[in-house]
Amino acid sequence: MSDAVSRLAEVKDAIAKAESGAKRPAGSVALVAVSKTFPVEAIEPVLAAGQRVFGENYVQDAKAKWPELRQRYPDAVVHMIGPLQSNKAKEAVALFDVIETLDRPSLARELQKEIQKAGGTRAPRFLVQVNTGAEPQKGGVLPEEADAFIKACREQYGLAVEGVMCIPPADEPPAPHFALLTTIARRNGLKVISMGMSADYPVAIAMGATHVRVGSAIFGSRG
């Protein structure tokens, strides 16, 4: 058994414990295994062990790996979790099932255009990224702009927005950021809440995460 497969089992156990500790139904939290920078050979055993949902940060990296992996595992679901440039919208629509980093009108417009051009062959789902810590270097809409942007994505751009995601500041306790994201999701009637990474996913589950994005705790250090 590869190290990644045994660590996957540990992460799934920890998710189950956190669900039960928060009195949430077993299986209510989905694991997004973040395979960014890892090669096909590292991802394949995790697919073979039954994991189906993966996260990637870079369009080129995903493009080099997933067409091949999808031939063997057609039911794999790949999330884009990294910053997305508008000029990569076409490739992103072709590659990803879920784009978690929708965060500005210019990107929403490009995605709408590319989905229309694909003529119904591609229908990615979207999460709006919220910059809960208002960090200048980080993507995401500001919390006070989230409601209006979510509404515009749905009504003006016709995008299938299912939820929200955040990456809390690295140097702050994450809990207040998780609480804020859950509040934004609930008041906008959104069911998907993507938050929590290797260092803090049990906290995120206690605070309402429906999806946790876990990389290094499964695949090891990215060096």
Residues near ligand PLP (CB under 6 A):
34, 36, 57, 81-82, 167, 197-199, 213-217
The tokens for 64 are 């080099």
Task: Output the smallest distance, CB 156 to ligand PLP, in A.
Answer: 26
Contact 202, 23 (CB under 8 A): no
50/75 Cα distance (integer angstroms)? 11
Burial 103-122 (b: 16+ CB within 10 A, else e): bbeebbebbbebbeeeeeeb
Nearer CB in complex with ligand PLP: 87/221? 221
Could you tell me the maximum CA-CA distance found in the chain, to the nearest angstrom?
A: 49
Q: Measured from the CB of residue 124, what is the shortest distance to ligand PLP in angstroms?
A: 17
Which CB, 176 or 220, lies closer to ligand PLP?
220
Contacts of residue 135, defined as CB under 8 A and 6 or more positions apart, other chains included, come to: 169
- As measured in angstroms, the least distance from the Cβ of 100 to ligand PLP is 7
Q: What's the rounded Cα separation, in Å, for the pair 210 and 160?
A: 17
Considering the complex, what minimum distance in angstroms separates the CB of residue 95 from ligand PLP?
17
Distance CA 69, CA 2 (A): 18
Query: Least distance (Å) from ligand PLP to the CB of residue 200?
Result: 9
Query: Smaller CB distance to ligand PLP: residue 90 or 211?
Result: 211
The nearer residue to ligand PLP, 18 or 217, going by C-beta atoms, is 217
- Which residue's CB is nearer to ligand PLP, number 89 or number 217? 217
- Shortest approach of ligand PLP to residue 204 CB, angstroms? 11
Closer residue to ligand PLP in complex, CB, 78/81: 81
Closest to 188 in 3D by CA, of 217, 206, 164? 164
Tokens of 159: 């995008």
Rounded CA separation 164/9 (Å): 27
- Structure tokens of 149? 């942007």
* Residue 144 DSSP class: G
Q: Which residue of this chain has its Cβ atom nearest to ligand PLP in the complex?
A: 215
